[in-house]
Chains A and B, each alone.
Chain A
Amino acid sequence: EAQVTQNPRYLITVTGKKLTVTCSQNMNHEYMSWYRQDPGLGLRQIYYSMNVEVTDKGDVPEGYKVSRKEKRNFPLILESPSPNQTSLYFCASSSVGDTTRPAKNIQYFGAGTRLSVL
């Protein structure tokens, strides 16, 4: 079954304690992305990756790191979490399409990770 798997689903931590949220996809997608979702703000992109070893900042990258050493995995790292990073996080993946093949731009989402930083 095609899927994007995030772990953990729920996480409560304390300020400053490094954490990693894992994301894995089994669809051989080139593109992967992390979003955070906050009430009233919608989904905002944190980081994205066009392929292995190619990552770039999204709209709200501060306080986050990512890596893309393998095509299937795209972990999100919070080196020193703060309470303002309390949020619902989603990982997503897609093929890299173009204007002649738009269906490949459809993104597949993980189930989400609800993070609370105390």
Chain B
Amino acid sequence: SQQGEEDPQALSIQEGENATMNCSYKTSINNLQWYRQNSGRGLVHLILIRSNEREKHSGRLRVTLDTSKKSSSLLITASRAADTASYFCATLYGNNRLAFGKGNQVVVIP
């Protein structure tokens, strides 16, 4: 099955810094979504970008999508301790199905 795949890195940053994580996928997509997961909890949807969009903003989040490179990035600006979580990209395919990447762990140090 198709999967989004984040860059396999754990990110540790100071509060106030920006955090960037990347995701690549393998086949054509309808849209790409980013989710956040606080330790051991359910995933929470953050932002969705359609395949015909290149950039989208939501509060401190900025998502880009490059369909020619089959990649996306999520930028969190002015990070806060509460942003400490794992972040997953997910691509929509088939019957309403989402394929999730393995996740990017972000630790924001107060």
Residues of A that sit less than 8 Å from B by CB: 4, 31, 33, 35, 40-43, 45, 48, 50, 56, 58-59, 88, 90, 92, 94, 96-97, 99, 102-103, 105-112, 114
B50 touches A43 (CB 8 A): no
| Chain B positions 38-64 with a Cβ under 8 Å from a chain A Cβ | 40-45, 48, 50
Q: What are 30 A-B pairs at a CB distance below 8 A?
A: A4-B42, A31-B96, A35-B100, A42-B102, A42-B103, A43-B43, A43-B100, A45-B97, A45-B98, A48-B95, A48-B96, A56-B95, A90-B43, A92-B43, A96-B96, A99-B30, A102-B30, A102-B50, A102-B92, A105-B31, A106-B33, A106-B45, A107-B45, A107-B98, A109-B42, A109-B43, A110-B42, A111-B42, A112-B41, A114-B40
User: Which residues on B sit within 8 Å (CB–CB) of A58?
Assistant: 97
Known: A42-B102, A90-B42, A111-B42. A59 touches B1 (CB 8 A): yes
User: Which residues on B sit within 8 Å (CB–CB) of A103?
Assistant: 48
User: Which residues on B sit within 8 Å (CB–CB) of A106?
Assistant: 33, 45, 48
CB-CB nearest in chain A for B98: A107
Known: A43-B100, A48-B95. A111 touches B30 (CB 8 A): no
B45 touches A102 (CB 8 A): no
A102 touches B31 (CB 8 A): yes
Extra inter-chain contacts (13) besides given A48-B97, A88-B40, A102-B30, CB under 8 Å: A33-B97, A41-B102, A45-B97, A45-B98, A59-B1, A90-B42, A99-B30, A103-B48, A105-B33, A105-B96, A107-B45, A109-B44, A111-B42
Known: A40-B102, A102-B50. A50 touches B31 (CB 8 A): no
B102 touches A50 (CB 8 A): no
A112 touches B42 (CB 8 A): yes
Give the docked Cα–Cα distance between A102 and B88 (Å). 18
Give the docked Cα–Cα distance between A1 and B102 (Å). 30
Give the docked Cα–Cα distance between A49 and B3 (Å). 20
| Chain B positions 74-102 with a Cβ under 8 Å from a chain A Cβ | 88, 92, 95-98, 100-102
Known: A107-B45, A109-B44. A50 touches B96 (CB 8 A): yes
